[in-house]
Every structure is written in structure tokens, then in C-alpha cells.
Structure 1
Amino acid sequence: MLSNREGQRVPDVTFRVRKDSNWLSVTTDELFTGKTVIVFSLPGAFTPTCSSTHVPGYNDLAPVFKENGVDDIVCISVNDAFVMNEWAKDQKADEITFIPDGNGEFTDGMGMLVDKTDLGFGKRSWRYSMLVKDGVIEKMFIEPDEPGDPFKVSDAETMLRYINPDAQKPMCVTLFTKVGCPFCARAKSMLQERGLVYDEIVLGRDATMRSLRAATGASTVPQVFIDGRLIGGSEALEKHLSA
């Protein structure tokens, strides 16, 4: 049975991690003492929901969490250090600390070790998240005990609503550009000057002009999306940012 450990200390465990081809020991004291830490745990590295949603969600909201008093975001999975390191590289999740619970000791101590031998996984972690302050668990969000791999409450947005329901999430900005385009360079400069993080889609490398027309109805670059809304080119972006 899955157990809620709110009000209790995290298990006292030493993790074996790999850094720069060396083995290191990292204790739970090092991870949690004197800090406010978000932990989210999941069934396995490179698995679909974990890679497409769980990790990206926390990585994207990391700046907002830190503005609201969170010192670190830790992802724990019952995988070895080599797998976790490769997954971290693949995810490009620089705002998250990936911790391998290779022997499942931490997960077992949390009461979250489950049997997934039917999938060939062996013992793995149930999906959950928690807010830990100075080693004490303040809040846990545990996925419902039902078949499959439910993902309903351990996401980043649920955690952010708990920490600060009025927190302002960062704008989602996507920019279509073309190499050598001066207007594209101007658009990027405007976004950078305002400290706005953006995803750049380069025509000829990441997408085609047909993709641009399908997405925006336009055939010129740059084209900017902010929070799912098409803003337009560099002049429209300037007006939007000045409004």
C-alpha cells in the first residue's frame, strides 16, 4: 500500500552517482539539509510519460519555483547512475538534479517501491512528487493506486499551485527564423533584452517553409508565437512587447 509520509523525515540514504567518470557518494543530508527541495519520482528513465511530460514540466517551471523559495528540484528513479546521466543529457534538463536510486533504498524507505515485473522492469518507484523542507516532507502528491501509470497529481503545475497559486508562469515563446535573416536577428535581440527564453525553429534545419505556412499562414520570417498565439514578425513583436 502506498503511504503518505507528510510530516516525516526523508529516508537516510547514500546514493552512488557518476560525475566526470568518477564514482561519488551523495547523502540525503547533502541533498536536503537546510534547503527547500522539490522531489519528483517516476517509474523509469526514458519511459514515455516521464520523458515527454514529467521532466520537461519541472524543468520549464524551475525559474518560477526558485523565485518562490525552492532551492533545488530533484528527480529520483530506480535506475543506475549511467542510465540517469544519459537521460539527463537527452532531456537537456539543466535545472534538475537527477539522482539514481539504483538499489531502490530511498524509494523503499518512502513506501513507494512497487513491483513491475509484469513489464520486465522489476522493482520500480511509484510516481509521486513532494516538497521537502530541511529534510522534512511538508507535502506529497501521490498518483492514485490504479492500474497502469497514472499521471494526474505529481506534475509541476500541481506543485506550483500548492507553493503559490498566484505565481506567474513564464511565457512560452517560439520563434521561426532563417539563417542570415536580419529581421530574425532583431527579433531574437528583443527577446533576449527582455530576458525571455524562447525555442528557435530554423527553416531549412528544423522545419520547412511548408511547415511555416501550415503553422502561421505566412511565408516570411521571423514569425513569433507567445503562449500559443501568433504574434507575427519583428515589428508585431516589438509592438506586443511594448504594450
Structure 2
Amino acid sequence: MLENRENQQVPQVTFHTRRNHEWVDVTTDEVFKNKTVVVFALPGAFTPTCSSTHVPRYNQLAPEFKRQGVDEIVCISVNDTFVMNEWRAEQKADNITFLPDGNGDFSRGMGLLVSKQDLGFGDRSWRYSMLVKNGVIEKMFIEPDVPGDPFEVSDADTMLAHIAPDAAKPLDISLFTRKGCPFCARAKGMLHDAGIQFEELVLNRDYSEASLRAVAGISMVPQVFINGERIGGSDELEQYLARQSKAAA
């Protein structure tokens, strides 16, 4: 039976972390005392769901969580600090604090340390998220107790919807460019000026012309996609931003 610990204190443990080639012990109080913290825990670093969805979305939504009063977002996994540090760097998850629960002390204290011996993982954390205020768990989203690794309720969007149902979410923007393209530079400049985050994909580094034609039906750059919709080049992007600005006025 997976334990829901709402209205209880988080476990008192010490996380053994590695910073700048030095060992740094971090206590539970240092993480949670007098702060509002969102925690998400997962089975393991570098594993598929954790790397492709769980971590990236929390990292993407971190600015909005902060605007809603969250002081810190913490990722916990039963891995050592070297693995967690490398994973954070690989994920470029600069908005998240990664804490190693190498011995499973925190997960055990949460009542959510489970056996993954069938996968050769040993004991690992069950996947869950929680909102913690001054060390007290206010809300928990625990994945259902079913076989496998369910991922239904501990995601960043569910937590943000709990904290602030009407909070704005960032646009998902991909910008196809090539080096030396002035229109691409213009498009990037407009997005930067508007304070909008985007992912840049560069020709012959991240994609081929064939890939762009397959996705956009055209090989001309830049090509801007927003929330799955093709906007077009820099002129179309300018028109889109103007419409958004007018609608917000």
C-alpha cells in the first residue's frame, strides 16, 4: 500500500551531495524550512520517462511555478550524487535542484521505497510529486499502485494546475534555422524581445533539409512552429506576435 503523508512532516534525512569537487551534506531543514517547495520523485536517473518528460517539463514550467510562490523545485531519486549531477547537466535542467537519495533514506521515510529487483534496480522510489510548505506536506500526487512505471498524476502540469489553475503556461516553440541566415536572426530577435523561450534547431546539426520538408512541406528557413502549428517564416512570426500583443492589450 503506497502511503499518502499529507499534513505530515517530510522525513528528517541528510542528502550527501557533491559540489565543485567537494562533499556537501544537505539536511532536510536546509531544503524545506521556511520555504515552499515542489518535489517530484522518480525511479532512476537517465531512465526513459524521467528523461524525456518528467524532468524537462518541470524545468520548462519552473519560471511559472516561481511566479506562483514556489521557492524551489526538487528532483529526488535513489541514485548517488555523481549520477544525479551528470543527469542534471545532460538534461540542462538548471531550474531544478537534484538531490541524491542514494541509500533510499528519504524514500523509505516517505513510505514509497519499492522493490525494482525484477529490473535489476534494487530498491527505488515510487514515482510521485508533492507540495511542501515549511517542511509540511500539503499535497501529494502518487502514481497508481499498478505494475510497471505509471506516469499519470505526478507531472508538472498537474502540480501547477493544483497550485494555480489559471496560470499561464509557456508556448512550445521550435525554430528551424541555418547558420548565417539573416531572416533566422530576425526571427530569433523577435522572440527574444518578446521574452518568449524557444528551441532552435540548426540545419545540418539538428536536422536535414529532407526532415524540414517532411515536417513543414518546405525547405525555406526560418520555419516557426508554435504548439504544433506551423506559423511560417519571420514575416509570419511578426504578424503572429502582433496579433498576440493586440489580444493581450
Band the TM-score falls in, shorter-chain normalisation = over 0.9
Offset from partner CA, 1:94-131 (integer Å, 9 cap, x none)? 11100000111111110001111111111110010000
Q: CA deviation at 1:189?
A: 0.4
Counting matched residue pairs gives 243
Q: CA deviation at 1:228?
A: 1.0
Unaligned runs of 5+ in 2: 244-249
Q: CA deviation at 1:191?
A: 0.4
Amino-acid identity (%): 68
Offset from partner CA, 1:110-157 (integer Å, 9 cap, x none)? 000111111111111001000000110000000111111111110111
Q: CA deviation at 1:220?
A: 1.0
Q: What residue number does 2:155 align with?
A: 155
Give the aligned residue type for 2:26: V
In 2, the alpha carbon distance for the partners of 1:69 and 1:127 equals 24
Aligned pairs for 1:130-169 within 5 A: 130-169=130-169
Over 6 Å off, 4+ runs: none
Offset from partner CA, 1:170-229 (integer Å, 9 cap, x none)? 111110111001111000000000111110011121111111111111221111011111
Q: What residue number does 1:125 align with?
A: 125
- Quote the RMSD (CA, aligned, Å): 0.7
Q: CA deviation at 1:165?
A: 1.1
In 2, the alpha carbon distance for the partners of 1:205 and 1:3 equals 47
Give the aligned residue type for 1:108: R
Q: What residue number does 1:185 align with?
A: 185
Q: What residue number does 1:63 align with?
A: 63
In 1, the alpha carbon distance for the partners of 2:204 and 2:45 equals 32
In 1, the alpha carbon distance for the partners of 2:126 and 2:207 equals 38
Q: CA deviation at 1:42?
A: 0.6
Give the aligned residue type for 1:103: N
TM-score by length of 2: 0.96
In 1, the alpha carbon distance for the partners of 2:176 and 2:201 equals 5
Q: What residue number does 2:226 align with?
A: 226
Q: CA deviation at 1:90?
A: 1.1
In 2, the alpha carbon distance for the partners of 1:103 and 1:5 equals 20
In 2, the alpha carbon distance for the partners of 1:216 and 1:112 equals 45
Aligned pairs for 1:1-243 within 5 A: 1-243=1-243
In 2, the alpha carbon distance for the partners of 1:11 and 1:21 equals 27
Give the aligned residue type for 2:166: D
DSSP 3-state at the match of 1:62 = helix
In 1, the alpha carbon distance for the partners of 2:139 and 2:6 equals 6
Q: What residue number does 2:247 align with?
A: none
In 2, the alpha carbon distance for the partners of 1:41 and 1:121 equals 15
TM-score by length of 1: 0.98
In 2, the alpha carbon distance for the partners of 1:120 and 1:204 equals 39
In 1, the alpha carbon distance for the partners of 2:160 and 2:17 equals 28
